[in-house]
Structure 1
Amino acid sequence: MGGEEDLYELVQTEDKHSRDNNVHNDSKNVTEKVVNCLYPHPGAAFKLICFPWAGSGSACFANWGRSFHHSIEVSSIRLPGRESRSNEPFAKTMDRIVAEISNALLPILQDTPFAFFGHSMGAHVAFMTALHLKENYKLQPVHFFVSSSTPPHQIHCQNVPNTSSELEEYLFHFIKNVGGTPKELLENKELLEMTLPILKADIQILINSIFVKPSKTPISCDITCFSGTEDIAKKMEDWQDLTSESVETHKIPGNHFYLTDISNEAFLINYITRCLEISYIA
């Protein structure tokens, strides 16, 4: 009997190891699908998670990794319907996006201090993700960097068309007027036909997402706000309503996409690095 019992225990142990490995591999696959890290630094003191603007992919911010010191590992969020996830349907709700991102980030944020950077719509997604992580897992960023984004409780989507064709026309004029979009893209019909559906899906999420400021301050980390001198983002100072800690605002030369300028990008990277260094010392 002893031999049979030993064999049974061995099989049970192997089955458990197999299940654990499957769970680990599934978790790793989800993380790699959603989180784009082009320049990994396993021993980094901080992780900087970047959230791209509406209609874009993860590549721009993922490439920031080569410009940061190796003490900061940079990753960028990749939403469904673009890049390596182009075969997936677009997300329909902010809740679904936040849940997916949170599940992907949990395995890599448990033991390392982290900060969020979000540009435009990306700042809204970053904020809702920070709120979700705090409420459900008692995790929150050491610093939240907001770029060109009106606070979510101050957004009022008015005069936005309801029909698909009218919305596409509205978005074409929007990206034309907001600045920062290359003229070659605006004049290339094929590229526009690829870009507009992604932008339309993202904007639809913002339209359907209503955030009402709660009576209790949602998060408790410092926030630094950046915007262009000719930006469309409004009331940046009202991010103070959403944190119990300090908020700083900075105006940088340029429009809504001021950060695509090389000198402005360098300023952001240096500023973020200094902030995280200070928080490490503190």
Structure 2
Amino acid sequence: MVARWFHPDMPSPEATARIFLFPYAGGSAPMYRDWLPLFPPDIAAQAVQLPGRLDRRAEPLLESLDDIVAATSEALAAELDDRPYAVFGHSMGVLVAYRVAAAMTHEFGHGPMLLASAAWAPEGFAMPTREQVEMPQDELLKWVIGLGSLPPVMYEDPEMLAVTLPPTRADLRACIDYTDDAALLDCPVVTYAAAEDPLMTPAAADSWISRTPEYLGTSVFAGGHFFIYDNVLPIVTDLTRHIRKLAQQEGGRP
């Protein structure tokens, strides 16, 4: 069976721009199922599915950020066409999207037109400690729930826990071994944050300013770290506005 890196695997040929959505630690493509139909027909949205989860559960989990970024970048390079594209991530998904964007620009010569960041920033974000990552299941689950607004279905179903906790640990291990090298992007960055996010300092989003030629600002919502679940429509609406504007600019270049 061919690995499905992107859901859906066939983007609309009618769209003039694309966006790839990266999940948080332990997350999978279905977390964006409610997002996909909200994008207008001119924007083809696809969620990223990393190895070791759901339909890719038979594949080994990747516990190195370098391995995750290398594999995802290769898959993305093979997926792209001549349409401009954006990348969006939540929490760890931003870290992966950021490093993939840098790799696509500097190694593949086909970088995104926009990086959209929710609940993560290069500075002012509290990375988990190794002690937290290796906590017993009940303690790890309590820590994740404490971040705010994680849907109950994610932690009340034992079968769901058996599916989500192993990739959560693997992803968090990849995060704690990450060393920031202040990689620069060639595209604008827009950010989304929560007023009560325990992992972000109030000024964290501003740390993107030194990483991008154009910082498009931040939108702050009520809620905790998982605020995106309650704010899908306004985030998609804002992403659509930025993508359309940037795609038009891309189309006007010689």
State whether TM-score is above 0.5: yes
Q: 1:1-282 counterparts in 2 under 5 A?
A: 29=2, 33-37=4-8, 40-151=11-122, 153-155=123-125, 157=127, 159-161=129-131, 164=134, 166=135, 168-183=137-152, 185-213=154-182, 218-232=184-198, 233-234=200-201, 235-261=204-230, 264-282=231-249
Q: Is the Cα–Cα contact under 8 Å of residues 133 and 169 in structure 2 kept in the other structure?
A: no
Q: 1:126 to 1:53 in 2, by over 3 A?
A: same
- The alpha carbon displacement at 1:189 in A equals 4.0
TM-score computed with the length of structure 1 as normaliser: 0.79
Asked whether the 8 Å contact 2:148–2:223 carries over to 1, the reply is: no
Query: Aligned residues: percent identity?
Result: 26
SS in 2 for 1:193: helix
Deviation, 1:42, is: 1.0
- Distance of aligned partners of 1:227 and 1:68 in 2 relative to their CA distance in 1, 3 Å threshold: same
> Which has more radius of gyration?
1
CA gap of 1:98–1:184, structure 2 versus 1, over 3 A, is closer
Gaps of 5+ in 2: 250-254
SS at match of 1:224: strand
Tell me: higher relative CO, structure 1 or 2? Use CA pairs within 8 A at least 6 residues apart.
2
Pick the structure with more helix per residue.
Answer: 1
Per-residue CA shift, 1:27-82, capped at 9, x if unaligned? xx45xx21112673112110100101111110122542211111100011101111
Work out the CA distance in 1 between the residues paired with 2:162 and 2:126. 27
Which residue identity lines up with residue 219 of structure 1 in the other structure?
L
Contact 2:72–2:100 at 8 Å: present in 1 too? Answer: yes
The CA RMSD measured in Å over matched residues stands at 2.3
Specify whether residues 184 and 45 from structure 1 end up closer, same or farther in structure 2 by C-alpha distance, changes over 3 A only: closer
CA distance in 1, matches of 2:39, 2:127: 36
